Amino acid sequence: MLHHPLTQNPWSVDSDHEFGPVSLSHLHQIDRARYAIQTIARMVGNSAAEPDATGASPLDAWAVMALMGGVEGLCDHIGTLTDAMLEQAQSGQGDDADGDGATHDAPTAIQ
| Full DSSP string of 63-104 | HHHHHHHHHHHHHHHHHHHHHHHHHHHHHT-SS-SSSS--SS
How many other C-beta atoms lie within 10 A of the C-beta of residue 68? 13
Tell me the pLDDT tens digit for each residue of 45-67.
999 888 887 888 889 999 999 99
Interatomic CA distance for residues 23 and 52, integer angstroms = 45
**Total domains, the chain:** 1
Is the whole-model pTM more than 0.85?
no
Residue 68's domain comprises: 24-104
Q: Going residue by residue through the chain (111 aa), what tens digit of pLDDT does each one get? A: 456 666 777 666 666 677 888 889 999 999 999 999 999 999 999 998 888 878 888 899 999 999 999 999 999 999 999 999 988 888 876 554 455 556 566 655 555
Q: Is there a domain that residue 83 lies in?
A: yes
Q: Is there a domain that residue 36 lies in?
A: yes
Q: Is there a domain that residue 1 lies in?
A: no
Interatomic CA distance for residues 94 and 101, integer angstroms = 10
Q: Is there a domain that residue 62 lies in?
A: yes
Q: Is there a domain that residue 69 lies in?
A: yes
